[in-house]
Amino acid sequence: MTLHFDNSYARLPGRFYARQAPAAVPAPTLVVLNDDLARRLGADPAALRTGEAVGWLAGNGLPEGAEPLAQAYAGHQFGGWVPQLGDGRAVLLGEVIAPDGARFDLQLKGAGQTPFSRQGDGRAWLGPVLREYVVSEAMAALGVPTTRALAAVTTGDTIWRDGQRRPGAVLARVASSHIRVGTFQYFAARRDLEALRLLVDHVIARHHPEAEGAAGLLDAVVSAQARLIGQWMSLGFIHGVMNTDNMTVSGETIDYGPCAFMDAFHPNTVYSSIDRQGRYAWSNQPQIAAWNLAQLAMCLIPLMGEEAVAIEAATASVHSFKDRYEAEWLKRFGAKIGLAAPTGADLTLIDDLMAEMTRQGADFTNTFRGLLDGTAAGNFGDPAGFDAWSGRWRERLSSEADPQAVMAAANPAYIPRNHQVEVMIEAAVAGDMSPFHRLMSVLQRPYDSQPGAEDLALPPRPDQVVQATFCGT
Ligand code: AMP
Ligand code: MG
């Protein structure tokens, strides 16, 4: 069984990409293969473990049917316009058609320089590759739309990062596509309406087949992003670098650079070392998403008919993000406290709990999970405020049919905690993959309490707290 390719992006005009083969590497070694995802794509995992397949996963040679390319895109990075970004260290091998007909991009990240590399070396090292592997697969298991990780390989090369030699690595990444808000911006900035029209048709066919024209597409993306950001918020997830080039039009989470799940709750939490203004703090994510969607709207307005009408329709779409997101937020946070059909009247109850969590820096994941088994109070240094809230909460729950089941499906026991991810990376670089495999196996079933895995649910001790995360690594 081999992968079946059908490369629709490569059939778009040449200005959408640069044809680019991955760079050859000295000594490809498979570090980890995602057997379930391989099967999902229609591949026999054993076939992907052969020398030939491990070779092309690292950049040596190509699988039959691949047409490698680096995609062109632009974007706003931290609000600043950059007219040309593009895949500077990633190569799209092509699109795999799964046995059920589903289409997936297969991309190698860390595959060497491309015409879009600017000053970069086009490479990745094992730490961030395994970090993306673990966090993206954890997100998938949590039920969040996301790019996936098919394989991690080392190249046999070393690369320089932070003044140290690091083992070079490549991540084989799978996505429903890698098309971003920044892909639209690239062509809009060049006033290339023909390319924009082709891109609209391409994205509608791939991701939003029910959408009609550019206006329908905009609305579908707004809706998909409102759902996605609602999910992120409900898990305490901080993306960390929500630039327009890191926002997909499919509604999948992409680009796990400086991302992190919160331990102690505070709405202003930021981890990314380069986000000094806190632009991408947890609580800012919905506003930033709306801002990014406004940039997409600007690109699409020229395709939406008469200008005044188009501007009005695009504005209405972007403004609808707020209501859609708030509905998603209420549904998700309502479920976290056991409410199957929360209404606006429940907002105060949710907000009051979160205000108390903020005041005391309660662990986000364990507080909500603790509502299930009665251990939530233990997350508060002074439980008096929580206990008072708990009385009001129990009263509200008395009219619910099965709040335990609702909470069990909304409150994971396990998230990829930063300090555990760091432990995993350190061990992997030293050649010990056992923390990786243990973390992955627990994170496959994040909503099930797993005896023996209690340590992976603990918040970090003060000396284990990860202060900053890094991107572009
Ligand atoms: P990111 O912040 O990871 O989304 O990346 C922003 C831009 O920088 C994209 O165009 C990337 O392809 C590019 N880039 C990031 N790291 C590298 C690298 N090591 N070499 C070349 N380009 C890179
Ligand atoms: Mg990116």
pLDDT at position 311, please?
A: 98
Contact indicator for 285, 229 with CB cutoff of 8 Å = yes
More confident residue, 417 or 1: 417
C-alpha of residue 198 to centroid of ligand 2, in Å: 23
* Confidence at 473, pLDDT banded by 50, 70, 90: low
Please name the residue whose Cα sits nearest to atom 8 of ligand 1.
88
The string of pLDDT tens digits covering residues 189-235 is: 999 999 999 999 999 999 999 999 999 999 999 999 999 999 999 99
pLDDT at position 225, please?
A: 98
Give the structural domain span for 296: 179-411
Please indicate, yes or no, whether the overall pTM of this predicted structure exceeds 0.95. Answer: yes
In a domain, 452, yes or no: no
In a domain, 215, yes or no: yes
- Ligand number nearest CA of 161 is 1
The string of pLDDT tens digits covering residues 228-238 is: 999 999 999 99
Q: Which atom of ligand 1 is nearest to the CA of 257?
A: 3
367 and 320 share a domain? yes
> Is the confidence at residue 1, as pLDDT, over 60?
no
> Residues enclosing ligand 1, CB less than 6 A?
85-89, 116-117, 120-123, 241, 245-246, 255, 257, 471-472
24 and 161 share a domain? yes
pLDDT at position 472, please?
A: 56
149 and 187 share a domain? no
Average pLDDT, the chain: 97
Select from 76, 92, 74, 89 the least CA-distant residue to 12. 92
pLDDT at position 394, please?
A: 98
In a domain, 145, yes or no: yes
The string of pLDDT tens digits covering residues 303-344 is: 999 999 999 999 999 999 999 999 999 999 999 999 999 999
Select from 37, 145, 139, 178 the least CA-distant residue to 415. 139
210 and 167 share a domain? no
CB-count burial class (<10 Å; 0-12, 13-18, 19+) for 266: middle
C-alpha of residue 89 to centroid of ligand 1, in Å: 6
121 and 25 share a domain? yes
CB-CB neighbours of 431 under 10 Å: 7
In a domain, 404, yes or no: yes
Q: Which atom of ligand 1 is nearest to the CA of 86?
A: 10
Residue whose CB lies within 8 A of the most ligand 1 atoms, among 76, 85, 247, 259, for a mutation test: 85
| Count of domains observed in the chain | 2
C-alpha of residue 253 to centroid of ligand 1, in Å: 17
Residue whose CB lies within 8 A of the most ligand 1 atoms, among 92, 109, 116, 244, for a mutation test: 116
The string of pLDDT tens digits covering residues 121-170 is: 999 999 999 999 999 999 999 999 999 999 999 999 999 998 999 999 99
Instruction: List, by residue number, the catalytic residues.
Output: 245
Mean pLDDT across the stretch 450-468? 94
The string of pLDDT tens digits covering residues 58-71 is: 999 999 999 999 99
Query: How far is Cα 96 from Cα 170, in angstroms, rounded to an integer?
Result: 19
pLDDT at position 363, please?
A: 98
171 and 190 share a domain? no
Query: How far is Cα 406 from Cα 396, in angstroms, rounded to an integer?
Result: 14
228 and 374 share a domain? yes
> Is the confidence at residue 39, as pLDDT, over 60?
yes
Amino acid at 340: A
Contact indicator for 59, 23 with CB cutoff of 8 Å = yes
75 and 57 share a domain? yes
Which of 141, 175, 209 is at the close of a domain?
175
Which tokens sit at 386?
A: 């929580």
Which of 126, 147, 175 is at the close of a domain?
175
C-alpha of residue 246 to centroid of ligand 2, in Å: 5
Would you say the C-alpha torsion 305, 311, 313, 317 has a positive or negative sign? positive
113 and 192 share a domain? no
Which of 411, 440, 466 is at the close of a domain?
411
* Confidence at 273, pLDDT banded by 50, 70, 90: confident
